[in-house]
Structure 1
Amino acid sequence: MKKKTIIEIFIFLLLLVFGLHSDAQEDHSKMNMGQASNKDEPRVTVDVPQDQQSKIGLKTTKAKKEKTLHTIRTVGTVTADQTKEAHVHTKINGWIEEIYADYVGKAVKKGQPLFDLYSPDLVSTQEEYISAKEQKSAGSDIAKVALERLKLWGVSQKETDRLVKTRKAKRSLSFDSPVDGFIVNKTAIRGMYINPEMELYHIADLSRIWIVVTLYESDIATISVGDDAELRLPYDLNKTFKGKISYIYPEIETETRTAKARIEIENKDQKLKPGMFVNVEVKKDLGEAVVIPDDSVIDTGTRRIVFVKTSQSRFEPREIKVGPRVGNSFIVLSGLKDQEEVVSSAHFLIDAESKLQAALRKGESQPAGHQGHGK
């Protein structure tokens, strides 16, 4: 606290050198910020003669009403669309006798064979179906149940159609890919014994992918589902990808005070791959609003203060409420009107003078007995 007081006294003396002063006889009712919160030091109006303003580098700017575009810049991670992924398991024990989808990264189509499986249960069920069909009408229900059992075990439609047509059992039957996509992970090996607990393939369709982005808590209120987003690869900033925000995750990470949002984007050429990092821009049209440069705002930690020019040489402190940052400016929600003039440089000097004058007046207004109390 002593250090802070010394610094402010130094600034005050500097202001006196330049001739900065305030009207010490002004009525207390004109001290616009004299009733500030206990957490903030009070401020009073400050007079700066015109010939001294340039000496301390004092400049002003006007609040302007204009169209505002809020741009959020962040990074995202490419992930597969979870609605277009498949984890392949069997529903029966057996041995893999042939592999068709034989390496990670291979493209597969829905209905394309992945592997052939030998299982005694598959063979016996085929024979059960054939035997029942030979009994004609008497075995029709048994044949139907046997065929349905094969389908429930995941045997492909081609295999069951072949069985119905030929009435011949095969040693091993093929199992097909349930989706279009690429093999992301593979554990299936020719000759391996498998059971339903084992994941044999992870297949993902990458023709449309997700970008999961990190947002600061303050940005969440300004974006919504459907907003446009532009993406660029860090190593190729000239190439842009366009997508839309499709989902905003409901939870906040307490340690970082950030949230996640999801962008969906077409990826027909497969240039974006899971695990990649991308630079993301989300632009939001906020309509017309009053804006001021961010360097004209004094942030006390609990309030935002600007010094408004009320005459050629007088400046009054005023509390304002600000919205999101747009470029190098703040949107003003309340406390300042269009075309009002505020200090945009050297305002820390004005602020220091204002607070010191308020402190001096407070000391002068105290009774002598109070000033000596406790000594």
Structure 2
Amino acid sequence: MNHLFRRIVLLLSVPIMLAPISLPAQQADEDREVLYWYDPMYPQQRFDEPGPSPFMDMDLVPRYVEQDAEGDGPATMRIDPGIMQNLGMRLATVTREPVRIRIEATGQLTFNQRDVAIVQARSGGFVERVYALAPQDMVEQNAPLADLLVPQWVAAQEEYLALRGLGEPELLAAARQRMRLAGMPEELILQQETRGQVQLIWTLKSPIAGVVQSLDVREGMTLSAGATLARINGLDTVWLVIEVPEAQVAGLEAGQTIDARLPAFPGETLEGTIAAILPQASLDSRTVQVRVELDNHRQKLRPGMTAEVAMDRQEDEALLVPSEALIRTGKRTLVMVAEEGGRYRPVAVRTGRETADKTVVLEGLEEGQQVVASGQFLLDSEASLRGLTAAPADPLTPPASALHEAEGTIVGIEDDMIFLDHGPFPTLNMPGMTMGFPFADPALLEDLEEDDRVRVGVRESEEGLTIERIDKLEAQP
């Protein structure tokens, strides 16, 4: 059966053999030097003269000097300088210079959590009066918050005053110590000593100026010792918390200055210092919080305001190229390197950080080389059509040959071959015909049958063309 199928394929090929096709692309350009002639199906076999292929029904294809990766260097293509000028293509030089990273991020003002005062009841007692305050009110230092009556303090004061007339300094000192141990503040002790009478009411005051965050005291309440009555946050300084992408945190350190601009104060730039880089990154946004301390002696900065922040970071020297010169394919990054004689070649590069309008190149380029900074996508398309592949960024990795594509119809499938009636392979200068191809993986043929329309990708090797990709197409109406 297999022999019969091969004869059928051969008969289908007879008309093509009787009328060989000669494509214009197969003609050698007079102004280009031909290295050798070859059949794309058997690239390992080379010929010194043009003519029909002894293997297939097609003409031999010229291989030019600039196309050969084994000649003077990686495969290149030549573009007329006039065309380059008409297309407005620009070149840029690969430079080595200090890397200045400018990080721009947004942040939000918050309270300085180190400038907090907690007001508590020193002893159990009763609330006699609460001053007109509420959470988020601004208070001055020593502003009254509430009046408290503490019975324990009254008894200690009476004992002290009773001992003052006995002329017993040791007993008087012990009575004074008992007032301190009962929790009486030094200020209240001095008042009763000066006036010589019991101080019934203790006025609770704010220890700092700032914002009342909480006020948990009401008139008539009974207080227990240690109960929290108020929480006050200072406003002399505020924190600006910035969300910095984790890839840009390296190099930032405490003490570094930043510039902040707030929408609330257009045209004004505030200067602050990095107080801390917090140790935990956000799993959702992949950012790290940077805490900046801002002076707020004029009390105009309010927690909750937003700010735009700019930070500069200096790093060691590195190779830089314009970011616009990079061609990002999703799998790798390429640049088009310009060489003498109007020749260009694609090169794969490994990139690092971006700074302003330039990108650090870690591998693939050398200082002084020129790359195409404008119009490189047109050159990349032309290189793909010619089957030119990029030189790898890692010199230890050998370059892979290009993947050439065409459409066709399956006319037969055997154990180790698939026979296609295919159209031309433009990047191989190969006309359409009916022939068999080996395939890289049997899994490629799953769900495929005879008469299916497919698009195949073949790769050149020393053994010929091998199918490495095959996609089934929708049936034509």
Q: Give the Cα–Cα distance (whole angstroms) in 2 for the partners of residues 120 and 183 of structure 1.
A: 28
1:80 and 1:204 in contact (8 A); partners too: yes
1:126 and 1:146 in contact (8 A); partners too: no
Q: Cα–Cα, structure 1 residues 82 and 64, in superposed 2: closer, same or farther, change >3 Å?
A: same
2:323 and 2:358 in contact (8 A); partners too: yes
Which residue of structure 2 lines up, in the alignment, with residue 117 of structure 1? Answer: 148
Which residue of structure 1 lines up, in the alignment, with residue 117 of structure 2? Answer: 86
Matches within 5 A, 1:121-160: 121-133=152-164, 136-137=168-169, 139-140=171-172, 142-150=174-182, 153=183, 155-160=184-189
Whether 1:191 aligns to 2:191 is no
Whether 1:203 aligns to 2:260 is no
Q: Give the Cα–Cα distance (whole angstroms) in 2 for the partners of residues 244 and 29 of structure 1.
A: 58
Which residue of structure 1 lines up, in the alignment, with residue 463 of structure 2? Answer: 367
Q: Cα–Cα, structure 1 residues 291 and 138, in superposed 2: closer, same or farther, change >3 Å?
A: closer
Q: Give the Cα–Cα distance (whole angstroms) in 2 for the partners of residues 184 and 81 of structure 1.
A: 13
Q: Give the Cα–Cα distance (whole angstroms) in 2 for the partners of residues 371 and 81 of structure 1.
A: 65
2:78 and 2:341 in contact (8 A); partners too: no
1:210 and 1:265 in contact (8 A); partners too: yes
1:128 and 1:146 in contact (8 A); partners too: no
Matches within 5 A, 1:344-363: 344-355=373-384, 356-357=387-388, 358-359=401-402, 360=404, 363=459
2:209 and 2:235 in contact (8 A); partners too: no
Query: Could you give the per-residue CA deviations for residues 32-69 of structure 1, whole angstroms, max 9, x where no partner exists?
Result: 5xxxxxxxxxxx53333334434555432222345653
Q: Give the Cα–Cα distance (whole angstroms) in 2 for the partners of residues 187 and 244 of structure 1.
A: 35
2:156 and 2:175 in contact (8 A); partners too: no
Which residue of structure 2 lines up, in the alignment, with residue 26 of structure 1? Answer: 68
Q: Give the Cα–Cα distance (whole angstroms) in 2 for the partners of residues 45 and 204 of structure 1.
A: 68
Q: Give the Cα–Cα distance (whole angstroms) in 1 for the partners of residues 345 and 272 of structure 2.
A: 47
Q: Give the Cα–Cα distance (whole angstroms) in 1 for the partners of residues 119 and 355 of structure 2.
A: 48
Which residue of structure 2 lines up, in the alignment, with residue 318 of structure 1? Answer: 347
Q: Structure 1 unaligned runs (5+)?
A: 1-18, 33-43
Q: Give the Cα–Cα distance (whole angstroms) in 1 for the partners of residues 281 and 117 of structure 2.
A: 29
- Identify the structure with the greater helix proportion: 1
Q: Give the Cα–Cα distance (whole angstroms) in 2 for the partners of residues 339 and 62 of structure 1.
A: 6
Q: Cα–Cα, structure 1 residues 46 and 130, in superposed 2: closer, same or farther, change >3 Å?
A: farther
Percent identity, please. 25
2:278 and 2:290 in contact (8 A); partners too: yes
Q: Give the Cα–Cα distance (whole angstroms) in 2 for the partners of residues 156 and 22 of structure 1.
A: 97
Aligned residues: 340
Q: Cα–Cα, structure 1 residues 75 and 371, in superposed 2: closer, same or farther, change >3 Å?
A: closer
1:334 shift after superposition: 4.5
- Greater CA drift, 84-93 or 278-287: 278-287
Q: Give the Cα–Cα distance (whole angstroms) in 2 for the partners of residues 207 and 371 of structure 1.
A: 72
Determine which structure has greater relative contact order: mean sequence separation of CA pairs < 8 Å that are 6+ residues apart, divided by chain length.
1
Matches within 5 A, 1:89-108: 89-100=120-131, 102-103=133-134, 104-108=136-140
Equivalent residue letter for 1:216 = P
Q: Give the Cα–Cα distance (whole angstroms) in 2 for the partners of residues 221 and 22 of structure 1.
A: 48
Equivalent residue letter for 1:340 = Q
1:159 and 1:174 in contact (8 A); partners too: no
2:119 and 2:228 in contact (8 A); partners too: yes
Q: Looking at CA atoms only, which structure, 1 or 2, has the larger radius of gyration?
A: 2
Equivalent residue letter for 1:119 = V
1:229 and 1:244 in contact (8 A); partners too: yes
| TM-score using structure 2 length | 0.62
- Greater CA drift, 81-90 or 315-324: 315-324
- Greater CA drift, 241-250 or 60-69: 60-69
Partner SS for 2:346: strand
Which residue of structure 2 lines up, in the alignment, with residue 304 of structure 1? Answer: 333
Q: Give the Cα–Cα distance (whole angstroms) in 2 for the partners of residues 114 and 45 of structure 1.
A: 82
Which residue of structure 2 lines up, in the alignment, with residue 340 of structure 1? Answer: 369
2:238 and 2:293 in contact (8 A); partners too: yes
Q: Cα–Cα, structure 1 residues 146 and 248, in superposed 2: closer, same or farther, change >3 Å?
A: same
Q: Structure 2 unaligned runs (5+)?
A: 1-28, 30-62, 389-400, 405-427, 429-457, 471-477
Which residue of structure 2 lines up, in the alignment, with residue 61 of structure 1? Answer: 92
Alpha-carbon RMSD across the aligned residues, in angstroms, is 3.3
